[in-house]
């Protein structure tokens, strides 16, 4: 957003999120009105605007206060890490406490507020201020009875500030029917920001809205904000355009067989993974393993825990062979454990933003997000989670959310409050109760952009870690646990029997073949001997014939005459 | 511009008039103040006129917003009277002075 050239000059506030909403900051050289009810953070916002102006943008500023004195304010903002004393010494910030005590004041006749102008002008000139905060100028209405003069003078004051090119922030108390109690918005027409805090179900959520910003486009929604350890933080909808990059790099989940199910390499970097399941299905363990894997790759991981304390997680995960302590010590892992009821959902998300921004992890695990959405109305939950996932995607952070299904059975897929549509990968864990025991199964319900297994696997946790094993799927049944083991043993035995049967059959066959072969051999021998006999008989006959012929010839010869036809017949 | 109009005696009333330049209002305020003091506090007062345009830091130290502002420094507690002091009754009430009758 900051790359677009601004339509008019902006004075960046340096406040997370606010510059994004306003497209670069407050209108430079013009007054901005910040209003809200008591205690909603007007002074803090104004002060941070000034401090960041001084420290980040080299613009000195004057803080003119009408309610709090300088010492109190300095003490108050020290908790945000702002050292006003030091900035005052460096002549970057000047605090001026205007004290008005109504009881000491009497009015008679005409007057003006030139004293205030001189005072402010002197303060501005003495440090070359570019920014001015008036907090809250409405105190003057209580101090000065003649409102007609005051209004005229305030109008003159804002014009005077504008003429001097000062970027001013004026705070004002929220009115009943008007934006501010004394209608300051009449005079400050360039930019109006409303801060609001609402309490719903005993949880307070602070919100910010830019009501008006002349001459520039601005976000019009209500944005949750937080006054945290590093000051103000506004949570904008960061990606209305869904323009985050899509990485093709993969991040292993830490469970090899799970990676196998996800196209063999794990999930995409910067994608979001939802692990849902009912109580005790092993969601947290998958989360811990994911974190553990990231840390062992040398990447930073951030774990938001909403059920267990940091120490408890470390202890419990050790029981399944995941040791997170070294990573904590090395600073690769941060665990933020808090009760979800500590803040509203939005506040939590702002905190998560803050933590992610400062720690810059590669992997974020939130366990479980369903706790954050506890008893929340659905329409609130989805947009806020959308903001978070979009933010994390833009930062190319791979995220794993776990989610508890309170129900079970057929509505399992529906019970994810529409969150699942935001997720790229959805793993479903289920308890399978059968045969007197409870086992865990896991399957990939969806995984965008990758071939993934459609198989149900059994999820096994032991003191050596977590792993997946194939379930027994056959005979129209899915078996897990001991039933699976029993079935497998049973199958192995049956297999053995079958094998032996085969062997026996083969042996039998071989025997039979041998017998037949022997028979063939015998027949052949018989045939051969028969053939030999026939040949012998033929040869004998031929010999006899030959002998007879010779005999008759010899007889004829002996008889000495030509052989008569009779002689032959006699032979 | 710092003008001192004082009586030699130890002044019971120490007054300071803050103005911003020689405007009609500041001149009127000074004239009104002088008249009121002469009438009701003859010999007991001291007036210091401070022009904020000259040493501007005095506006902050004196906690002055409006001009003209008359500040009663003595007797304690301090009082502030805003305006050109045209209403004598209110000035007297503001300074907590008993009016001298027929003055």
Instruction: Please answer yes or no on whether A144 and B82 come within 8 Å at the CB atom.
Output: yes
State the pLDDT at residue A7. Answer: 54
DSSP code of residue A6: P
Three-class secondary structure of residue A168 per DSSP: strand
CATH architecture, range B2-95: 3-Layer(aba) Sandwich (3.40)
Q: Which residues of A are catalytic?
A: 67, 307
Cβ distance of B69 and A144 shorter than 8 Å: no
**Residue A16 confidence (pLDDT):** 74
C-beta atoms surrounding A279 within 10 Å? 10
pLDDT of residue B7: 47
Q: Return d(Cα B90, Cα A233) in angstroms, integer.
A: 51
Task: Provide the pLDDT for residue A262.
Answer: 86
What residues in chain A have per-residue pLDDT under 70? Answer: 1-7, 200-203, 236-243, 341-344, 346, 371-381, 383, 406-418, 473-477, 561-571
Provide the 10 A C-beta neighbour count for residue B48.
16
Residue A364, both tokens: 């974020």
Asked if the peptide bond before residue B77 counts as cis, ω within 30 degrees of 0, the response is: yes
Residue B100 carries which DSSP code? Answer: P
pLDDT for res A229: 73
Chains A and B form CB pairs within 8 A to the count of 100
- The residue whose two tokens read 């300071």 is B16
- A-chain residue closest to B96, CA distance: A106
Q: Is A243 on the interface with B (CB under 8 A)?
A: no
Subunit contact B82:A116, Cβ cutoff 8 A: no
CA dihedral A408, A458, A372, A304 (to 10 degrees): 170
A109 touches chain B (CB under 8 A): yes
Among the partner-chain residues A96, A115, A123, the one whose CB lies closest to the CB of B20 is: A115
What is the residue-wise DSSP string for A196-235?
Answer: EEEEETTEEEEEEEEEEETTS----S-EEEEEETTEEEE-
Where do we find the tokens 């003649």?
Answer: A146
DSSP track, A517-541: HHHHHHHHHHHHHHHHHHHHHHHHH
Determine which helix (DSSP H) or strand (DSSP E) holds B92, and give its type and residue range.
Answer: helix B88-95
The encoded tokens of residue A385 equal 């989670």
CA distance B85 to chain A (A): 5
Is A118 within 8 Å of B87 when comparing Cβ atoms?
no
Q: Domain map of chain B by residue range?
A: 2-95
- Residue B25 token pair: 């209002």
Dig out the tokens for A119 from the structure.
């005072």
Burial of A236 (0-12, 13-18, 19+ CB in 10 A): buried
A93-97 and A105-107 beta bridge pairing: unpaired
Q: What is B21-84 written as a DSSP string?
A: SS-HHHHHHHHHHHHHHHHHSTTSEEEEEEETTSSTHHHHHTT--SBSEEEEEESSSPEEEES-
**In A51-92, which ranges are E strands?**
61-65
Contact B60 A116 (CB under 8 A): no
Residues in chain B within 8 Å Cβ distance of A107: 81-83, 90
Continuous H helices in A91-193: 114-127, 139-143, 147-163
Set of chain B residues whose Cβ sits within 8 Å of the Cβ of A96: 60
pLDDT digits (tens, 9 = 90+) for A233-266: 787 655 455 667 778 888 888 888 888 888 888 8
Cα A462 from chain centroid? 26
Task: Determine the Cα angle at A161 with ends B18 and B69, to 5°.
Answer: 15
How many CB atoms neighbour CB A463 within 10 A? Answer: 8
* B65 → closest Cβ in A100, A109, A110: A100
CA A165 from centre of chain: 45
Geometric angle at alpha carbon A111, from A106 and A117, rounded to 5°: 110
Q: What is the largest CA-CA distance in chain A?
A: 199
Q: In the prediction, which pLDDT does A201 show?
A: 65
The pair of three-digit structure tokens given for residue A546, joined into one six-digit string: 């030959």
Residue A33 DSSP code: E
What are A525's two structure tokens? 């021998």
- Distance (Å, rounded) from C-alpha B72 to C-alpha B13? 7
d(CA A417, CA A402): 13
Q: Which residue of A has its CA nearest to B55?
A: A122
Q: Which of A47, A88, A92 is nearest to A67 (CA)?
A: A47
Structure tokens at B7: 């009586």
- Give the model's pLDDT for residue A466: 79
Region of A465 please: left (phi>0), alpha (psi -120 to 50) or beta.
left
Q: Is the pLDDT at B77 greater than 60, yes or no?
A: yes
- Phi/psi for A344 (5° steps) reads -75, 170
**Residue at token pair 């004290």:** A99
B94 interface with A at CB cutoff 8 Å: yes
Average pLDDT of every residue of chain B: 80
Six token digits for residue A174? 């929220």
With contacts defined as CB-CB under 8 Å, which chain A residues touch B66?
Answer: 111-116, 144
């Amino acid at each position: 957003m900051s790359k677009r050239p601004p339509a008019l000059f902006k004075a960046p506030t340096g406040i997370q999120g606010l510059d994004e909403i306003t497209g670069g900051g407050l209108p430079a050289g013009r007054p901005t009105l910040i209003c809200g009810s008591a205690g909603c953070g007007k002074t803090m916002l104004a002060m941070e605007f000034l401090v960041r102006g001084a420290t980040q943008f080299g613009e000195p500023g004057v803080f003119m206060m009408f309610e709090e004195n300088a010492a109190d304010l300095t003490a108050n903002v020290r908790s945000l890490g702002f050292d006003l004393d030091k900035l005052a010494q460096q002549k970057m910030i000047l605090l001026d406490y205007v004290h008005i005590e109504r009881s000491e004041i009497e009015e008679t006749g005409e007057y003006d507020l030139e004293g205030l102008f001189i005072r402010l002008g002197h303060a501005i000139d003495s440090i070359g201020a570019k920014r001015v905060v008036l907090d809250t100028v409405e105190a003057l209405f209580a101090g000065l009875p003649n409102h007609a003069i005051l209004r005229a003078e305030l109008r003159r004051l804002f014009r005077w500030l504008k003429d001097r090119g000062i970027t001013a922030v004026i705070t004002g108390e929220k009115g009943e029917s008007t934006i501010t109690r004394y209608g300051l918005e009449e005079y400050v027409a360039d930019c109006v920001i409303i801060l609001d805090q609402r309490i719903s179900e005993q949880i307070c959520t602070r919100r910010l809205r830019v009501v008006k910003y002349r001459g520039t486009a601005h976000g019009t929604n209500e944005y949750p904000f937080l006054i945290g350890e590093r000051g103000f933080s506004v949570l904008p909808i960061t990606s209305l355009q869904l323009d985050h990059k899509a990485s093709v790099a993969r991040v292993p989940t830490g469970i090899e067989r799970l990676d196998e199910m996800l196209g063999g390499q794990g999930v995409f970097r910067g994608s979001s993974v939802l692990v849902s399941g009912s109580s005790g299905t092993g969601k947290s363990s998958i989360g811990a393993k994911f974190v553990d894997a990231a840390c062992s790759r040398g990447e930073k991981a951030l774990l938001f825990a909403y059920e267990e304390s940091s120490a408890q997680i470390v202890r419990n995960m050790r029981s399944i062979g995941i040791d997170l302590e070294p990573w904590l010590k090395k600073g690769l892992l941060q665990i933020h454990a808090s009760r979800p009821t500590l803040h509203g959902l939005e506040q939590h998300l702002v905190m998560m933003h803050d933590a992610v921004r400062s720690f810059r992890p590669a992997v974020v695990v939130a366990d479980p997000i369903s706790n954050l959405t506890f008893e929340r109305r659905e329409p609130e939950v989805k947009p806020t989670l959308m903001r978070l996932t979009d933010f994390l995607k833009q930062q190319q952070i791979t995220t794993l959310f776990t989610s508890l299904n309170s129900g079970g059975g057929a509505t399992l897929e529906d019970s994810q409050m529409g969150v699942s549509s935001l997720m790229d990968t959805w793993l479903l864990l289920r308890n399978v109760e059968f045969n007197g025991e409870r086992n865990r199964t896991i399957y990939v319900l969806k995984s965008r952009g990758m071939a993934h297994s459609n198989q149900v696997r059994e999820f096994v946790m032991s003191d050596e870690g977590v792993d997946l094993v194939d379930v027994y799927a056959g005979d129209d049944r899915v078996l897990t646990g001991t039933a699976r083991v029993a079935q497998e043993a049973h199958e192995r035995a049956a297999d053995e029997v079958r094998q032996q049967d085969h062997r026996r059959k083969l042996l039998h066959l071989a025997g039979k073949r041998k017998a037949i072969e022997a028979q063939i051999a015998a027949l052949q021998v018989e045939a051969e001997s028969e053939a030999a006999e026939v040949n012998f008989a033929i040869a004998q006959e031929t010999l006899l014939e030959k002998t007879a012929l010779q005999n008759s010839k010899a007889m004829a010869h002996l008889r000495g005459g030509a052989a008569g036809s009779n002689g032959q017949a006699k032979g | 511009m710092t003008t001192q109009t004082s009586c030699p005696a130890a002044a019971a009333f120490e007054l300071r008039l803050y103005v911003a330049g020689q405007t009609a209002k500041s001149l009127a305020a000074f004239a009104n103040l002088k008249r009121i003091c002469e009438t009701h506090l003859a010999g007991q007062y001291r007036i210091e006129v401070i022009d904020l345009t000259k040493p501007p830091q005095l506006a902050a130290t004196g906690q002055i917003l409006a001009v003209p502002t008359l500040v009663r420094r003595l007797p304690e507690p301090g009082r502030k009277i805003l305006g050109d002091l045209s209403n004598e009754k209110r000035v007297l009430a503001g300074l907590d002075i008993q009016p001298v009758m027929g003055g």
